[in-house]
Amino acid sequence: MEQDDPAEALTELRERRLGALELLQAAAGSGLAAYAVWALLLQPGFRRVPLRLQVPYVGASARQVEHVLSLLRGRPGKTVDLGSGDGRIVLAAHRCGLRPAVGYELNPWLVALARLHAWRAGCAGSVCYRRKDLWKVSLRDCRNVSVFLAPSVLPLLEDKLRAELPAGARVVSGRFPLPTWQPVAMAGEGLDRVWAYDVPGGGAGEVVSSGRPIQAAPRPSSASVLGAPVSLAS
């Protein structure tokens, strides 16, 4: 049996170590790059918001957008997306006739990206993206509201919606349901599911004074809200 050449073995060992070092450097570089993107895109908006109210940006999927529109399509009045991110829901809402459509987003980079998407779609003068903290936006003139927020902030959002939304307004929550409100309709399955909630009569603020969560109308059958074909207008 031939014996390995010690010199060749040492050379091979050094090459392996160098490869591991390169791999470590690449991983470190990727981590720094990811942090740089996070700091550039997300940090500017988060700096003004208390930690408990911060919600990381995760764009809605095409299926989620379709489900939101299926529960809002045909409704009159102002439509807003709270934490509108790259603006895809606002743009899709405008395209399917929900007008005016407005997005509120604190991060300036995401607002710029949303406006770029609207310009590329030929809708720059038709949709509106405003750089505002969603917690400081008045909802008293809104008839349709979409939200894709983290569960940790939804109880606080319920308080804001109760206090400000007019009677007859509809809220559609994606990914996570509102914790105490009862939905009147649902669409989609799993992570793509969205829930719709209607504000009862009596005017903005009345539900708050009673201290009771919004009570929904009787739930429709699952066949009327689940599995129905939905098309996204272009």
pTM above 0.75, yes or no: no
- Picking from 103, 39, 101, the residue whose alpha carbon sits closest to that of residue 76 is 101
Q: Within 10 Å of residue 47's Cβ, how many Cβ atoms?
A: 9
Quick one: average pLDDT of 81-88?
Answer: 96
Which of these ranges, 13-27, 105-119, 142-156, has the smallest mean pLDDT? 13-27
Query: 45 is written with which tokens?
Result: 């908006």
Share of the chain above pLDDT 90, in %: 59
Query: 172 is written with which tokens?
Result: 């559609």
- Please give the DSSP secondary-structure letter assigned to residue 74: T
Query: 199 is written with which tokens?
Result: 């504000």
Asked if residue 232 lies in contact with residue 69, where contact means CB atoms within 8 angstroms, the answer is yes
Cα(109)–Cα(86) distance, integer angstroms = 9
- On the question of pLDDT at 100 being above 60, the answer is yes
Spatial CB neighbours of 35, under 8 Å, sequence gap ≥ 6: none
What the chain holds in terms of domains, given with CATH numbers, is 62-199 (3.40.50.150)
- On the question of pLDDT at 228 being above 90, the answer is no
Asked if residue 43 lies in contact with residue 15, where contact means CB atoms within 8 angstroms, the answer is no
| Amino acid making up residue 226 | L
Share of the chain above pLDDT 70, in %: 62
CA separation, residue 105 to residues 42, 83, 86, 131 (Å): 11, 5, 9, 5
Distance of CA 161 to the CA centre of its chain: 17
